[in-house]
Every structure is written in structure tokens, then in C-alpha cells.
Amino acid sequence: GIQVEQSPPDLILQEGANSTLRCNFSDSVNNLQWFHQNPWGQLINLFYIPSGTKQNGRLSATTVATERYSLLYISSSQTTDSGVYFCAVEDNAGNMLTFGGGTRLMVKP
């Protein structure tokens, strides 16, 4: 099946800093989503982005499908951004999402 790798695995930022999270995938995909899992375990959908660039406030994402990677940008980070960020892809053959291992982000005040 499709492989999804995320980097870095862990990230510590000072409040106000910017960061870039990366997601590499091993095959062409039908769908790519970025999620934020908060400390209570809730997975919140950030972006549905199989290709192109989207922005939502301080967050933006870019997927280059031909090169099989996606980037999530967090600008002016806040303590509430802390948690785990997951990239998940849906391949062309099936319906389910395959998740990467996540990037654990801690934003310090």
C-alpha cells in the first residue's frame, strides 16, 4: 500500500515563530488532507488539498502532486497550535485514508 512519511517527527517552537511541516507519499493520490489532533484527541480537518495551494488564516498548505509531497506552513505560531499534525492520503484504488506518523508540535510561550 501507499507509504506516507512526515517530517520532522517533533518540533518545538517559541511563540511567534514560523514553521514548515512536510509530508511525502509514495504513489499518486486521489485526496490529501492535513489534520490537527488536539491534546484531547480530536482530529480536526485543516485542509483538503490533493493539489495546489490553500490558505486559512495563519495556516497554508501546498501539495505538489507530481512530486508526491505536501507542505503545511504555520506562521506566527501560538500555544494553541500545539498538538500533533497528521497528513493523510487516499489512494486511487480505495476509500480509506492512510496516515503518516505525525509531527508533534509544542509551542512555548
Partner 1 sequence: GAGVSQSPRYKVAKRGQDVALRCDPISGHVSLFWYQQALGQGPEFLTYFQNEAQLDKSGLPSDRFFAERPEGSVSTLKIQRTQQEDSAVYLCASSLYLTGGGYTFGSGTRLTVV
Interaction site with partner 1 (CB under 8 A): 4, 30-31, 33, 35, 40-43, 45, 48, 50, 86, 88, 90, 94-102
Shortest distance, CB of residue 30 to partner 1, whole angstroms? 6
44 phi-psi bin (left φ>0, alpha ψ -120 to 50, beta other): beta
- Comparison of 69 and 99: residue with beta carbon closer to partner 1: 99
- Comparison of 1 and 16: residue with beta carbon closer to partner 1: 1
Q: How far apart are CA 35 and CA 43, in angstroms?
A: 6
Shortest distance, CB of residue 16 to partner 1, whole angstroms? 28
- Comparison of 59 and 97: residue with beta carbon closer to partner 1: 97
Instruction: Give the residue among 32, 64, 66 at the shortest CA–CA distance from 49.
Output: 32
- Comparison of 19 and 98: residue with beta carbon closer to partner 1: 98
Shortest distance, CB of residue 43 to partner 1, whole angstroms? 4
- In the chain, which ranges are E strands? 4-7, 10-14, 19-25, 29-37, 43-48, 52-56, 59-64, 69-74, 83-91, 98-99, 103-108
